[in-house]
Amino acid sequence: MRRSLIMGVGSALPERVMTNDDISKIVDTSDDWIVERTGIRSRHIASDAETTRSLGTLAAQRALADAGMAAAEIDLIIVATSTPDLTFPATATLIQADLGITGGAAFDLQAVCSGFIYALTTADALMRCGQSASALVIGSETFSRILDWQDRATCVLFGDGAGAVVLKTGEGQGSNADRGILASCIHSDGRYSDKLYVDGGPSKTGTVGHLRMEGREVFKHAVTNIAAVMEETIAAAGIRADDIDWFVPHQANRRILEGTARKLGISAERIVITLDRHGNTSAASIPLALDAAVKDGRIKRGNLILMEAMGGGFTWGAVLARY
Ligand code: UT7
């Protein structure tokens, strides 16, 4: 059975770090409130010279180096982002050019914070059907550009960054002992599109717009939807929650990720948490967390990892993989 193996991981963060105290000089908030309600202590904010493209390219180069593969081997690039450099062409094609790749396909995928899960699922499907042999799946965001820096309910939550994985097809036995992506489930429900959205866009306003969110509503749905899709994905692979070595969640709110882990009986020591220093980086948060835990030696080859996310749309999903 054809499997999509994770060959390498990489990430990139803007140089500038903004602490909660820094934000409290802009809006009426405090380090205590932000830490207690979210778990976030600081985030990285892109300079004018750092963009979704430049961060994504750096993360991709680091993932290729980690995989020991040449850029020329890649025949598919998917960039999950809601903050592209330009309305078009796709940031994926800009990164393709930066990497010196001239063949294969490159496109962006828009599923907001669930973008990386959607992109992994799409790449895996294209690889298993034989369309692509090696892929770069990148989550890259500069949410600082679409925040309303006067709105304390949202501007304290997000940060900028990028993460990438290199996938390559390999043969497995068809059992959950295989390496690579073992199961994935994605969902959406557009009835909730007004709970988390950007109030501008090329067709409707001709502007970029700002992020708007009903935080409490999103929170409520997040815990329910994430727990359900995690259970669905675990069942699809025929494993138990106990078998999971590392839970690598989208980093939106510490209470959400600890609450969903608890619902499934995943112990707190097995959760990879980076939101304290990254904030919510939307589609970049899972590969950023994955890279941190691989590089510090927590996630090892053969470990079973469960990734999940929920975001605007609503969209949500989970991917189970053996690293
Ligand atoms: O990645 C995409 C998915 N996004 C999410 O998963 C986010 C989900 N939502 C959340 O994480 C939480 O709802 C938030 C962290 C956004 C907010 O936490 P909350 O516990 O739901 O707070 P709240 O919105 O109910 O606000 C509580 C109080 C309000 O004051 P009153 O009305 O009780 O007097 C807010 O005005 O906290 C106030 N508040 C703040 N105070 C200080 C809101 N933002 C701030 C702030 N600093 N930054």
Dist CA 117 CA 138 (whole Å) = 10
Ligand 1 pocket check for 287: Cβ under 6 Å: no
280 in active site: yes
Q: Say what the pLDDT of residue 188 is.
A: 98
Dist CA 184 CA 309 (whole Å) = 12
Q: Say what the pLDDT of residue 126 is.
A: 98
Q: Say what the pLDDT of residue 237 is.
A: 96
Ligand 1 pocket check for 31: Cβ under 6 Å: no
250 in active site: yes
Question: Class for domain 2-171, per CATH?
Answer: alpha beta
Q: Say what the pLDDT of residue 241 is.
A: 94
pLDDT digits (tens), the chain, 323 positions? 999 999 999 999 999 999 999 999 999 999 999 999 999 999 999 999 999 999 999 999 999 999 999 999 999 999 999 999 999 999 999 999 999 999 999 999 999 999 999 999 999 999 999 999 999 999 999 999 999 999 999 999 999 999 999 999 999 999 999 999 999 999 999 999 999 999 999 999 999 999 999 999 999 999 999 999 999 999 999 999 999 999 999 999 999 999 999 999 999 999 999 999 999 999 999 999 999 999 999 999 999 999 999 999 999 999 999 99
113 in active site: yes
pLDDT digits (tens, 9 = 90+) for 155-166: 999 999 999 999
Query: Among residues 256, 255, 260, which one has the least CA distance to residue 244?
Result: 260
Nearest atom, ligand 1, residue 153 CA: 44
Q: Say what the pLDDT of residue 265 is.
A: 93
Residue tagged active-site, from 44, 210, 250, 278: 250
Q: Spell out the residues 6+ positions from residue 291 whose beta carbon is closer than 8 angstroms to its own.
A: 9, 10, 11, 59, 62, 163
pLDDT digits (tens, 9 = 90+) for 58-112: 999 999 999 999 999 999 999 999 999 999 999 999 999 999 999 999 999 999 9
Domain ranges of the chain: 2-171, 180-322
Q: Say what the pLDDT of residue 139 is.
A: 99
Q: Say what the pLDDT of residue 69 is.
A: 98
Could you check whether 2-171 and 180-322 share the same CATH topology? yes
Ligand 1 pocket check for 40: Cβ under 6 Å: no
Q: Say what the pLDDT of residue 120 is.
A: 98
Ligand 1 pocket check for 253: Cβ under 6 Å: yes
Residue tagged active-site, from 20, 225, 253, 280: 280
Q: Say what the pLDDT of residue 198 is.
A: 98
Spell out a b/e string for 191-221, using b for 16 or more CB atoms within 10 Å of the CB, else e: ebeebbbbeeeeeeeeeebbbbbebeebbeb
Q: Say what the pLDDT of residue 92 is.
A: 99
**Residue 186 has what DSSP assignment?**
E
Q: Say what the pLDDT of residue 289 is.
A: 98
Ligand 1 pocket check for 107: Cβ under 6 Å: no
**Domain with residues 180-322, CATH architecture:** 3-Layer(aba) Sandwich (3.40)
CB 43 within 8 A of CB 160: yes
Q: Say what the pLDDT of residue 56 is.
A: 99
Percent of the chain scored above 70 by pLDDT? 100
